[in-house]
Amino acid sequence: MLHQTLKHDSVLPKEVLESLVHSKTQSVFDGTLGLGGHADLIFKAYPQIKLYVGTDLDGQHLDAARENLKAYEDRFIGVEANFSQIDEVAAAHPFPRPLCILLDLGVCSNHLDDESKGFSHQADGPLHMAFSANQAHNCQTIVNEQSVGELTRIMRDFGEEPSAHRIALKIVAAREEKPLTRTSELKEIIEKSVHPRDRKKALTRVFQAFRMATNQELHHLSLALDKSFELMESGDRIGVMSYHSLEDRIVKKQFQTRSRPKTEATKFSLHDVVEPAEIKLITKSPITASPAEIEENPRSRSVKFRIAEKI
Ligand SMILES: C[S@@+](CC[C@H](N)C(=O)[O-])C[C@H]1O[C@@H](n2cnc3c(N)ncnc32)[C@H](O)[C@@H]1O
């Protein structure tokens, strides 16, 4: 797909500019650079930014972002890496402080529009689903190699799919005839496993579940948060946009735990503070998209944006 045809509307643009980045921000780590939509907005609104490092696993997105951000090439660095490698990126490119970390999780709209990436059930394509084209382990290896139990767990845990076990049994039966290689084959199995009225929801849930498993999305999110809090200094901020309840649960738990002082019961007091809070919450409850934004950009429908600052 050519750069010119790639398109993605950045979610919560105003909120990123008003609640995450601010007039003292000197650098940004944009873990999910995509096509550079948020990056462009941030550069325009905050010309004082000295260094903006964006990572993406999708090499095509990085190329497009480099093109889109040409005007800022003296301050912009694009790195083909997982955002969970933030520690390595920070070691290679020391961030002037205060730093802002932005994670806008999941797929871009054009991932779903490009059938060759295999993210969508709406058009036939290879069963790929990996953000990185270089990744050997993809959805095809999962559906053809995992046990019924593991396939069921993936669809239940990541997709909350009620017919997970039935679909897993049908996947294993089908692959005994011939390995599954196309999204249309997975789609047909799902459609045959559920009531016609549940087909659309089941397709969305199962495709999402396999995408999350293929990219080990929850694992990399947890790792990235741990490493981010480790390297953040006082005044640095982190903002995470999640689109799935399991992602938001991970972010919420980390934010809540780290925003409370650590206490321990001793023989003198029930609540001795042993360590002060590490962060303060900029958003007490997550920011969601307005009805107007949802109307214009349906992808924003499920977003939850949480922001915290290191104390
Ligand atoms: C929702 S899009 C980001 C859109 C971007 N904020 C914008 O405004 O254009 C998510 C991007 O993150 C990338 N991505 C997802 N998980 C990643 C990870 N663990 N590490 C690096 N990039 C990742 C995807 O390839 C995709 O390009």
Q: What are the residue boundaries of the structural domains of the chain, listed by start? A: 3-110+217-310, 132-214
Average pLDDT, integer, range 61-86? 97
Assess contact for 236 and 309: CB atoms under 8 A: yes
Chain-centroid distance, C-alpha 204: 17
Instruction: Give the per-residue pLDDT at 1.
Output: 46
Average pLDDT, integer, range 181-207? 97
Cβ neighbours of 200 (radius 10 Å): 12
Q: By percentage, how much of the chain surpasses pLDDT 70? A: 98
Distance between CA atoms of 198 and 221, rounded to whole angstroms?
A: 30
Instruction: Give the per-residue pLDDT at 269.
Output: 76
Is residue 237 lining ligand 1, measured as CB closer than 6 Å? Answer: no
Q: Show the tokens assigned to 130.
A: 């990996």
Q: Show the tokens assigned to 51.
A: 């260094």
Closest residue by Cα to atom 7, ligand 1, is 37
Would the pLDDT of 268 be above 90?
no
Closest residue by Cα to atom 12, ligand 1, is 32
Q: Show the tokens assigned to 232.
A: 């953040």
How sure is the predictor about 111, in pLDDT bands with cuts at 50, 70 and 90? confident
Cis peptide before 47 (omega within 30 of 0): no
Average pLDDT, integer, range 103-132? 92
Instruction: Give the per-residue pLDDT at 2.
Output: 45
Instruction: Give the per-residue pLDDT at 28.
Output: 98
Is residue 211 lining ligand 1, measured as CB closer than 6 Å? Answer: no
The answer to whether the 3-110+217-310 and 132-214 domains have the same CATH topology is: no
CATH (one of 3.40.50.300, 3.40.1210.10, 3.40.50.150, 3.20.20.70) for 3-110+217-310: 3.40.50.150
Please report the sign of the dihedral spanned by the C-alpha atoms of residue 306, residue 62, residue 119, residue 209. negative
Instruction: Give the per-residue pLDDT at 56.
Output: 98
Is residue 58 lining ligand 1, measured as CB closer than 6 Å? Answer: yes
The conformational region for residue 240 under phi > 0 = left, psi -120 to 50 = alpha, else beta, is beta
Which of 5-19, 29-43, 262-276 is the least confident region?
Answer: 262-276
Contacts of 1 (CB under 8 A, 6+ apart): 60, 110, 114, 116
Instruction: Give the per-residue pLDDT at 5.
Output: 62
Dihedral, 144, 149, 155, 157 alpha carbons, nearest 10: -140
Kindly provide the b/e burial profile for residues 49-58, where b requires at least 16 CB atoms within 10 angstroms of the residue's own CB: bebbbbbbbb
Please report the sign of the dihedral spanned by the C-alpha atoms of residue 16, residue 18, residue 19, residue 20. positive
This prediction's pTM: 0.95
CATH 1.10.150.170 for domain 132-214: yes
Identify the H or E element spanning 251. helix 245-258
